A and B are shown apart, each in its own frame.
Chain A
C-alpha cells in the first residue's frame, strides 16, 4: 500500500494501491458490512486478477465500489417506488408508473430540506454522513409504517428490514473477523 499524502498535497492522507488489480476486492473499498463480508470472501478465494491496464492506481475509499453503490441505489429506489405506489389511489400498474418520478423527487427530500438546516447549524462542509443517517432513519420510519399496513407494499418493507437485519449480522461477523480481514488486506496490498 502506498501512502500518497506527500504526492497529493492536502489530500488528507489517501491510501492507494498501485498495480494490484485484486485490490479492487479489498473490504475497505466497501461501505456496508454485508458488502465488506462478501468482498472478504472473494478476496480469500481469489486468484491473481488480470490486469488489463499498463498502470493502475486504486484508492482505498469506502464508497469506491460501483456494484455496491449502484445495487444499493436501485434497491432503495425500487423500495421507495413501491411505498409511493402503495399510497397512491390508483390501480397498481398505473400507480407504479406514477410513483417512479415521485419517488425520485421524494429521495431528494433529506438532501434539500435537511442539508440547508445542517449547514445553518454547523456551517459549510461535508455533511454526507449526517444526511446519510437522516435518510436511512426516514427510510426506517417509512418502512415501519408500511410494514404494519395491509397494502401489498408491506412485503417490500419486510424485505427492507430483513436486509437491514442481515447487514447488522454481517457487521457483527465482520467485527469478529476484523483481524483476519486486516491481515488479508495487508497481504493483498503489500
Chain B
C-alpha cells in the first residue's frame, strides 16, 4: 500500500472547509493531529487519496462520513465541569437575570440536550446547589434528554470513571459521590433531581412536548448536523424557550451562523444566545 500524505494545499483546503462547516479552526500547530486523523479516514473509507476522500466528504448525500470525521477530530468524551465557564455564567449572570423576571412560585426550567451520560446535567445541579444562593427561593427543574436510550440508562445509573470526575473539586466529589464498583456513583438525591427523557431533536413533533424552558444547554451537538438540521434545531430551541430564555452552545459553535432568531448576549463569563423578550 502506498503511503498517504496530506500536502500543504490539502491541509489548507481541508481546514477552510472544516472551519466553515463546524466552526472549529485548526491552527498549523495542529497539523500532525489533523493529518493523522485524515489519513485514518482515507484508509477507513477505501479512498485512493486526499482528493478522492475530500470529494466524498464534500458531496456525500448522507453526510455519514462528515459525522465520522467530526468524531475523530473532536473530543467526544464528556466529563464533569467541562467548559465550566458556562456554568459560572449560568449562576452568576443568566439565572439572576431570569430570577428577577420570575413570579413568586414560578419554577426555573433547564433543558440539557444532548444528555449523553449525564455529566452536564449533574454538573448543573451541583453548581446550583453550591454556587447559587437564590436556589433557596426557587424550584428548579432540570430535564436532560438524548436520542439514545442506552446512554440515558447510563446517566440515570450515575456511575462514573475517575477520569469523568477528575475536574470536580475534591470537596464536591466527597459530598455528592461515593466509591462504588471501581468508580464514583453520584448520590441518590442528585439522581432524583434530574429527569432523563428520550427525544429526537430533529423531529419537531417529538420536541413539541418540550416547552417553557428558561435555559437550554446544547453543547457540541450542532457541529455534527448538516445545515438544514441545524436550522431545524434552532427553530425547535426557539419554541422550547420562553421569551427571554437563553441557549448555551459549545465553544466552537455559533447560533449567529445558523439562525437570526436569537440575540447574542455577552456576559463576563461567556457568550450565549437569547430569545427576544418581546414578540413570540
- Same complex: no
Residues of A within 8 A of B (CB): none
